[in-house]
Amino acid sequence: HSPEIPQNAHVLEKTGILNKTKLVDHGKKNRKNWSQSWTVLHDGILTFHKDPKSAPSGTSNKMSQIIPEITVELRGATVGWAPKDKSSKKNVLELKTRHGCEYLIQNDTESTVCDWHKVLLDSIRQQDLD
């Protein structure tokens, strides 16, 4: 027989490589600094992992991928296409948390960013229902 799935299970999950920069940290403006991250969405938490290329020599890529660099709680957050003046890059999403942090998320492949947009919207909605 199949395992039972609890009614409130958060099955939304997505992983991928994205470019990200944290523009605002708890209300304080940061210098823009894009870096590539292994990105994981699970249970309403978005986690950016360390750039595999920035790992100290001797550290395996696998290792650097599992070290979370930033975790973003999606409850109460908003996500949408970033205004053009925020970046000259294409396919840029702007994610704002309820704690006053702002991130830009980007990938050159439009469908990749569209998929992340959808799943982030769904996850935020789900968090707001709980």
Note the residues at the interface with ligand I3S (CB under 6 A): 32, 34, 87-89
Residue 85: CB minimum distance to ligand I3S, A? 8
104 vs 124 by CB, closer to ligand I3S: 104
Q: Which among 107, 88, 91 has a CA at the least distance from the CA of 38? A: 107
Residue 86: CB minimum distance to ligand I3S, A? 7
Residue 25: CB minimum distance to ligand I3S, A? 16
Residue 72: CB minimum distance to ligand I3S, A? 19
13 vs 34 by CB, closer to ligand I3S: 34
Residues 92 and 117: their CA atoms lie apart, in Å, by: 10
12 vs 17 by CB, closer to ligand I3S: 17
